[in-house]
């Protein structure tokens, strides 16, 4: 929660993560990778979950996340 009287500007960006294991692993991987180049991540919102199919079987989870991070002044 922001302190009273303080102002912050946050920016949003979308990232996509992939995993053969689960959607949760795909999301975690996307956040981990994004945190290396985006400073001060604040929140992540799952906006889309897909499952790639091959021969009728799920082979890869794809998650699209909207990440919020504090914009440097």
pLDDT tens for residues 3-14? 565 677 788 899
Domain ranges of the chain: 11-70
Distance between CA atoms of residues 29 and 19, nearest Å: 8
* CATH homologous superfamily of 11-70: Flavin-binding protein dodecin (3.30.1660.10)
Distance between CA atoms of residues 60 and 35, nearest Å: 23
Contact 45, 63 (CB under 8 A): no
pLDDT at 64: 97
pLDDT tens for residues 25-71? 999 999 999 999 887 888 999 999 999 999 999 999 999 999 998 87
pLDDT at 14: 95
């Amino acid at each position: 929660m922001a302190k009273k009287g303080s102002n912050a500007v946050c920016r949003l960006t979308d990232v996509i993560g992939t995993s053969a294991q689960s959607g949760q692993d795909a999301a975690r991987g996307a956040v981990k990778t994004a945190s290396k180049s985006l400073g001060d991540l604040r929140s992540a919102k799952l906006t889309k979950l897909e499952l790639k199919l091959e021969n009728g079987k799920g082979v890869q989870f794809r998650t699209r996340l909207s990440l919020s991070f504090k914009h440097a002044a």
